[in-house]
Chain A
Amino acid sequence: GDSVVQTEGQVLPSEGDSLIVNCSYETTQYPSLFWYVQYPGEGPQLHLKAMKANDKGRNKGFEAMYRKETTSFHLEKDSVQESDSAVYFCALSAPYSGAGSYQLTFGKGTKLSVIP
């Protein structure tokens, strides 16, 4: 089946540091790739997406490049802020027929805690 593996546990950069959260995926299909963000007490919300190879998703200073050759979709930011603190999930959606094409496979999540 499909799978997503991302940086595990918690990352603790200081404000102003650069950030990379790794995400690798595995599927037999040609997926779309997503990063979802979850703030405390809320449901996940779409953060950025890339629908095909070499697309770059961007949002609020974060970027992620869809790299088909390395099956990766790493989340990057040049300078993190305290307000970026949240849990980030990498996810894929594969183009199966019917309802399967709407399903998401999530990684286990990475908690970003920015030190002020």
Chain B
Amino acid sequence: NAGVTQTPKFQVLKTGQSMTLQCAQDMNHEYMSWYRQDPGMGLRLIHYSVGAGITDQGEVPNGYNVSRSTTEDFPLRLLSAAPSQTSVYFCASIPFGGARGTQYFGPGTRLLVL
């Protein structure tokens, strides 16, 4: 199993550009989520999904869009990038019935918005 994979590893955008951060897992996990990590702020939940076709907002959803058409994939879309979205983004997954709180994180995507 590859676990949770994320692409790209690093991206530079200009203000106003759009892009999609990819996340995939091959563990057949139902629950998937996106976090952003900023210095001194810890990890903050952006969006999450409990299964294909079902998504919901987390703590900091503004400026981001998600969809979940398959169990494996959970892309995060930036509709119009802003410098405040410069961050490191992590995708994570959990199997339903798995130990609560035991999330499997991907390696992250580092995003710089100029």
Contacts and interface: CB of A to CB of B under 8 A. Distances in A.
A contacts with B: majority SS: mixed
B19 interface: no
B43 A106 contact: yes
A95 B31 contact: no
Given A44-B105, A51-B100, 17 more contacts: A32-B100, A34-B102, A41-B107, A43-B105, A43-B108, A44-B103, A46-B103, A49-B101, A89-B43, A93-B101, A102-B31, A102-B94, A103-B45, A104-B101, A106-B42, A107-B42, A109-B42
B40 interface: yes
Contacts, number: 62
22 contacts: A32-B100, A32-B101, A34-B101, A41-B107, A42-B107, A42-B108, A43-B107, A44-B43, A46-B102, A49-B99, A49-B101, A91-B101, A93-B101, A98-B50, A102-B48, A102-B50, A102-B101, A104-B103, A106-B43, A106-B44, A107-B42, A108-B41
Contact of A102 (B41, B90, B100): B100
Interface of B: 4, 31, 33, 40-45, 48, 50, 56, 58, 90, 92, 94, 99-103, 105-108
